[in-house]
């Protein structure tokens, strides 16, 4: 069974990078390492644009890729990915070079409700959205 990956349908191709095919990743008693970043102050829609290029890549390749993406979401995902790699090295005694990104999920967190003043003393509501980032790594055994 293949892992479920959140898919973003976008009319523009983001950095001309396509998600890798995950048919090569199978679950055979592989260790899964997860890392969460909760209540991150970025819209889930904006974070998903960056997160969709990560699944299927090696963790070290993902870090080098995120370093050159000039977006706030890339910095947040980089921090979460580094945390997942540290968890794998320190808690599960895995080598960082052998890790593959199984999934990069961006979930919707709570929203701060704010009001913007507008004409004739009225106000328009808007939301400052938050995200929960989840990255799952696995050790590849071919």
pTM given for the model: 0.78
Nearest-angstrom CA–CA distance, 14 and 47: 12
Nearest-angstrom CA–CA distance, 60 and 95: 11
Mean pLDDT, 10 residues at a time, over the chain (142 residues)? 45 53 53 94 97 95 95 96 95 92 97 96 97 94 58
Q: Which two tokens stand for residue 54?
A: 């990560």
Quick check: 136 and 27 in contact, CB under 8 A?
A: no
Could you give all domains of the chain from N- to C-terminal order, each with its CATH number? 32-139 (3.90.470.10)
pLDDT of residue 18: 57
pLDDT of residue 10: 45
Q: Which two tokens stand for residue 27?
A: 């679950």
Nearest-angstrom CA–CA distance, 33 and 135: 8
């Amino acid at each position: 069974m293949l892992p479920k990956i959140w898919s973003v349908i976008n009319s523009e191709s983001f950095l001309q990078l396509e998600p890798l095919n995950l048919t090569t990743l199978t679950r055979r008693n592989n260790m899964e390492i997860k890392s969460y970043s909760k209540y991150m102050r970025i819209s889930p829609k904006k974070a998903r644009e960056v997160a969709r290029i990560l699944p299927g890549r090696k963790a070290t390749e993902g870090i080098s890729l995120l370093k050159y993406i000039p977006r706030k979401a890339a910095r947040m995902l980089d921090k979460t990915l580094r945390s997942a790699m540290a968890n794998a090295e320190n808690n599960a005694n895995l080598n960082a070079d052998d890790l593959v990104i199984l999934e990069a999920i961006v979930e919707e967190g709570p929203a701060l409700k704010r009001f913007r003043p507008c004409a004739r003393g009225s106000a328009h509501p808007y939301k400052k959205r938050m995200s929960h980032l989840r990255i799952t790594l696995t050790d590849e055994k071919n």
